[in-house]
Amino acid sequence: MTTRKKTTKRKMRGKRTYGRGSHKKGRGGGSRGGRGMAGSFGHKRLWALKQDPGHFTKRKFVSLRGKQVQETLQSINLRDISEDCELPGYKVLGGGELKRPVTIRASAFSAQAMEKITKAGGRAVVLGEEDDIDKPKDEQPAEQESPPAKGEDDEDDEDEEDEEE
């Protein structure tokens, strides 16, 4: 059996009526079932439900006043990090491998990323939760001695009185 050549779809450019017959027949909205969203509750309902599913639902304004907006973090994989860096607003994910030890400061880390960073000999520091260990010695506050317990004070006073006599 021979195959026939497929005909191309004709768009009727240059024709006055575009295949509608008389030029008067294509004028009004009746040729397209109404103008705009007319008929969306009737003969165009299935089309409206398929093409615009939220068209018939109630939409109301939701105020964010007084509510905390959750910060969304961008993500970055370990394979994209090659040197020490600080990444505020990023969560470091465990995709890829580290070739050398690096110190990464970021807003969040996945468990797998933390494991891979420490395994490579690097450090993962969560921004805002940095320890005093990371600061140089001269910046660390001096440790204050806690006041002695009640029992310790009394014994020292007695020893001093014995020595005076």
Domains contained in the chain, number:
1
Output the average pLDDT for the chain. Answer: 81
In whole angstroms, give the CA distance from residue 104 to residue 76: 12
What CATH code is carried by the domain that includes residue 98? 3.100.10.10
Domain assignment present for 154: no
Pick the residue with more confidence: 21 or 71? 21
Domain of residue 127: give its range: 76-132
Domain assignment present for 69: no
DSSP assignment of 137-165? GGGSPPPPPPPPPHHHHHHHHHHHHHHH-
Domain assignment present for 14: no
Residues recorded for the chain: 165
Is residue 93 within 8 Å of residue 113, measured between CB atoms? yes
pTM of structure: 0.41
For the cut 70, the answer to whether the pLDDT of residue 153 exceeds it is no
Domain assignment present for 83: yes
Domain assignment present for 144: no
In whole angstroms, give the CA distance from residue 67 to residue 110: 27
Half-sphere exposure of 97 (CA within 13 A, CB side): 4
Domain assignment present for 123: yes
- Residue 62 is predicted with a pLDDT of 80
For the cut 80, the answer to whether the pLDDT of residue 152 exceeds it is no
Q: Give the tens place of pLDDT for each residue, 14-63.
A: 888 888 889 888 888 888 899 988 999 999 999 889 998 888 888 788 88
